[in-house]
Amino acid sequence: MDANEIDVEVQDLVERIRAASAGGTLRVSNGTPELLPEPPSSLPPVPGVDHLAPKSLKSQRVSELIAAAEKAVHVDRHIPKFLRRLFRKQGKYDQTILDLVSQLAKRIEQMHNHASLLYEHLKVQTRWLEIVASSRDTATRAIAQTIEHATGLEQELSRLTAEAASEADDLRTLQARQAQVESRVERLDSLSAQTDDRQRQYEAALQRIEDATAAARADLARTEERHLRDSAFLKSQITIYADLLRSISPERGASRKTTARQAVDEAHARSLDAFYVAFEDRFRGPRDEVKCRLEVYVPYILKAEAGSEERPVLDLGCGRGEWLELLQESHLTAHGVDLNQLMVQLCTEQQLRVTAGDALEYVTHSPPESLGAITAFHLIEHLPFAQLMELVQQSWRALRPGGLLIFETPNPANIQVGAHYFYRDYTHRRPLPADSTEFLVANAGFREVTVLPLNSAEALEIDTDNDDLTRRFNEFFYGPQDYAVIAVK
């Protein structure tokens, strides 16, 4: 403040100072001293913080204002000396006020901070109270639902109790009935035991009857078969001797072209027929056993769609007719050919279609593509090679497209067969290895040529125990005794 710029009445200023000294305090406002009321001796008590609500205070601004006021209290050295005393007294007064204000500001700031903490605490408490209120509502609803559910359960329990009482009555009734039923069951068990004993006796008796019946049927079948053979043999012998007597009869001997020697040869041939029938019975085996071994070929016939009137099966060297009988039982059309007159007669008596004649000639005279299948079981080992090759070629000619060819013959890879069993039959020419027969058939134009091993003597095999030598021994001595070459045209 510049002293030259102060424009006041000195006398007036002095009077005011005196008045201030007597009962008040001066302050300068707009360059003019004014009386101020006497400051209080102490600050009023601060209300408790529990009654204060938090509010925003600009603490920094208050501090700045107090600092500015403290700065203004100090008497400027440019003030005239006669006024300095006045201003010093005013400064002390102002300083006192500033100290009180400063204390008040600090107190207010403390209260504000405390109020802020209380406010944050109240917010947390308020949030907690909201959660508690929400939980209380949820719990109230849950309790209401629980009470309602408990009421329902109580009603259900009452209903179940009533039902249980009713069921208990029913149970007592059922127990009484059960006791009656158990008594009856005991009586029935006793009767059942007696019945079982009688049933076992009846079954034992029935089994004995069945065994006796089976034995009688087997004896009857053997007797009938023997009767057929004997009848055919006797008829053959009667025919042989009748022809022989006619050939040497003096009345007709000159007119007959057949010489006595030819009649003897024919009679010898017929006797060979009878011998071969007996030979088959001895070494070929019973009819049922042979039929069982031949069942393996039926699926091949069905797959080739053979056995119909348009695609019949021709069996060459049909023998006793086991294969023809099996085909007949399978409702398949088949025809047989055999040179043995006695065999043909046996087949005819069993209602089988058989023609007496040479197999190769029959196939040769068959129309082209007229047969569905040609079979020959243990025939090809009786033929010379030239006739065998001709038979294969004529079979290819006589079969329909897709027709089936089956040749079964002894397997010389089995040493017992190749070295012994094969030569039991005096009419066998030579063993035929499987790969040679397979090549012969394939070379004639057949396709899908396969070799089917048959009739292994597995029951006689030695336990190999993973021994290669024993395995090969079993293969050579107990391996397949027969094989079949199966081919398609």
Tokens of 406: 């089956």
pLDDT at residue 267 is higher than 80: no
In 271-369, the DSSP E strands lie at: 313-316, 334-338, 354-356
Q: What is the pLDDT of residue 445?
A: 94
Q: Which amino acid is residue 147, in one-letter code?
A: I
- Provide the phi-psi class of 30: left if phi over 0, else alpha when psi is between -120 and 50, else beta: left
Q: Residue 358, Cβ neighbours under 10 Å: how many?
A: 15
DSSP state of 356: E
Q: So where are the chain's domains?
A: 3-129, 284-488
Q: Which residue has the higher pLDDT, 192 or 362?
A: 362
- Rounded mean pLDDT of 312-316? 97
Q: What is the pLDDT of residue 399?
A: 96
CB neighbour list of residue 408: distance below 8 Å, 6 or more residues apart? 376, 377, 378, 454, 482, 483, 484
pLDDT at residue 418 is higher than 90: no
CA distances from 24 to 17, 67, 92, 319 (A): 9, 25, 14, 165
CA distances from 298 to 294, 306, 323, 369 (A): 8, 10, 10, 21
> 3-state DSSP call for residue 380?
helix
pLDDT band at 294 (very low <50, low <70, confident <90, very high): very high
Most confident of 336-345, 441-450, 462-471: 441-450
CA distance 232 to 161: 94
CA distances from 177 to 164, 183, 188 (A): 19, 10, 16
pLDDT at residue 74 is higher than 80: no
Q: Which residue has the higher pLDDT, 408 or 63?
A: 408
pLDDT band at 130 (very low <50, low <70, confident <90, very high): confident
Dihedral of the CA atoms 375, 377, 378, 381 (nearest 10)? Answer: 10
**Domain boundaries 284-488, corresponding CATH code:** 3.40.50.150
- HSE on the CB side for 282, CA within 13 Å? 8
Q: What is the pLDDT of residue 7?
A: 41
CA distance 389 to 396: 11
Share of the chain above pLDDT 70, in %: 70
Most confident of 39-43, 90-94, 131-135, 381-385: 381-385
Q: What is the pLDDT of residue 437?
A: 96
Most confident of 146-150, 227-231, 449-453: 449-453
* pLDDT mean across residues, the chain: 78
Q: What is the pLDDT of residue 53?
A: 43
Distance of CA 147 to the CA centre of its chain: 52
Tokens of 215: 């034995």
CA distance 398 to 367: 6
